Amino acid sequence: MTDRVVFTADDILRLVEYQKCDDLALYENWFDSDTQRGFNFVLKETFEEFSKNEIKQRFLAMIQLIETNEIIGSVGISPLETTPDLAIWIFKPFRKKGYGTSAFVLATKYAIDVLKIAELHAGAYPDNIGSQKMLRKCGYITFPEGNLREKHYLTREDIVQLDYIYKGAQE
C-alpha cells in the first residue's frame, strides 16, 4: 500500500500525490540529457532554489510502481492560466518499459473524467519519435495550429515543438 493519496491507478501504476520528499528525484532528473532534449531546457537552479519553487501546475502527480511502491517519474498539467498541456517525466532507469504510455493514459483519463478538461495538449519535438508514438498510442492527434516555434536550448537555432491534442467525449 502507499502512504500517499492515490488519484488513479491501473494494474501496474498509480498516480499519487506529490510530496516535498520528491524534489530531489525531480531535480536530479533535469540533469539527464534526454530530459533536457525532450523539454528543450537546461535547469540552472541549485537544489535549494528548485525546492523553494511553488508548484504552479494545475495538476501534478508522481508515478508509482504498485509492486514496489517506487516513484518512477511524474506527470503534470500546465498552470490554470495556460492551455492545458500534459507533460511526463520518466526517471532514467524506468524508461523504455511501457510505463510512460501507461502513466500518460492514466493522466489523460484523470484529466478528462475528474478534472473535466475537455481538450488536453501535449508536445513533442520532431526528433523525438518515441514520444510521438506514445502520444498517438494514447489517442492524441497532431494539431499543427498549436505548434510552437522556439530556439534550441543549446544551439539557439529555430525549432518547432509539435502539438498534439486529445479531445474528451464531445457532447
Distance, in Å, from the CA atom of 49 to the CA atom of 77, rounded to the nearest integer, reads 22
Convert the pLDDT of each residue in 30-86 to its tens digit: 999 889 988 999 999 999 999 999 889 999 999 999 999 999 999 999 999 999 999
For the full predicted model, state whether its pTM sits above 0.85: yes
CA distance readout (Å), 128 to 9, 35, 53, 57, 97: 27, 11, 28, 24, 16
Residue 168 has a pLDDT of: 74
Residue 166 has a pLDDT of: 96
Residue 3 has a pLDDT of: 86
Cα–Cα nearest to 12, from 72, 89, 59: 72
Residue 169 has a pLDDT of: 58
Residue 55 has a pLDDT of: 87
Phi, psi of 148, rounded to the nearest 5 degrees = -115, 130
Listed by start position, the domains of the chain span 6-120
Residue with cell 481538450: 119
Q: Which amino acid is at 114?
A: V
Residue 2 has a pLDDT of: 62
State the fold for domain 6-120: Aminopeptidase (3.40.630)
**141-150 b/e (C-beta count within 10 Å ≥ 16 → b):** eebeebeeeb
Q: What is the 3-state secondary structure (H, E, C) of the chain?
A: CCCCCEEEECCCEEEEECCHHHHHHHHHHCCCHHHHHHHCCCCCCCHHHHHHCCCCCCEEEEEEECCCCCEEEEEEECCCCCCCEEEEEECHHHCCCCHHHHHHHHHHHHHHHCCCCCEEEEEECCCCHHHHHHHHHCCCEECHHHCEEEECCCCCCEEEEEEEEEECCCC
Separation of CA 68 from chain center: 21
Convert the pLDDT of each residue in 95-131 to its tens digit: 999 999 999 999 999 999 999 999 999 999 999 999 9
Convert the pLDDT of each residue in 122-137 to its tens digit: 999 999 999 999 999 9
Residue 171 has a pLDDT of: 44
The neighbouring-strand residues paired with 62 are 16, 74
